Amino acid sequence: MRLWSLHPKYLDPLGLVALWREALLAQAVLADRTQGYRRHPQLDRFRAQAEPLAALGAYLLAVSAEALARGYTFDQGKIISAVPDEASLPVTAGQLAHEWRHLMGKLEKRAPRLHACHLAVTAPECHPLFFIVPGEVAPWERLTSGV
């Protein structure tokens, strides 16, 4: 499961659809509608919110908005709860930089043209739900070599 802190505009079509599906899965976990992924570390930042489902719903709304801007239709009726434009979560600059490197590695293999376009990006934007704060990679991130 990867719930990107990066703005969904950077994702290729496959990545955007995968993000939507994974965020819906995360929503099911938070709503106790599935047994899998209950301890997934990327859910920690949503669980820490006063209204975890509303925060994740706001996350999903932004993903859906990006899909709509591209001419796709994601069913917003699948979002259980959302408080658009009210929830705002911090993401560290280190986490954003880590995710950018990770995404660029994926795009280099999966979408070389998009990767080439993104090479000019020096300060990637975060997902609209987040705001950037100083700091290192988040403690919930699973770091692997080469990423």
β-strand partners of 90: 131
Q: Is residue 3 part of a domain?
A: no
In terms of residue numbers, what domain contains 116? 8-133
Q: Is residue 143 part of a domain?
A: no
Q: Is residue 1 part of a domain?
A: no
> Among the residues of 31-92, which ranges form H helices?
44-47, 52-69
pTM: 0.90
DSSP state of 124: P
Q: pLDDT band for 86, please (50, 70, 90 cuts).
A: low
The count of structural domains within the chain is 1
Q: Is residue 44 part of a domain?
A: yes
Q: pLDDT band for 84, please (50, 70, 90 cuts).
A: low
Q: Look at residue 35 in the predicted model and tell me its pLDDT.
A: 78
Q: What is the pLDDT of residues 23-38, one digit of tens each?
A: 999 999 999 998 777 7
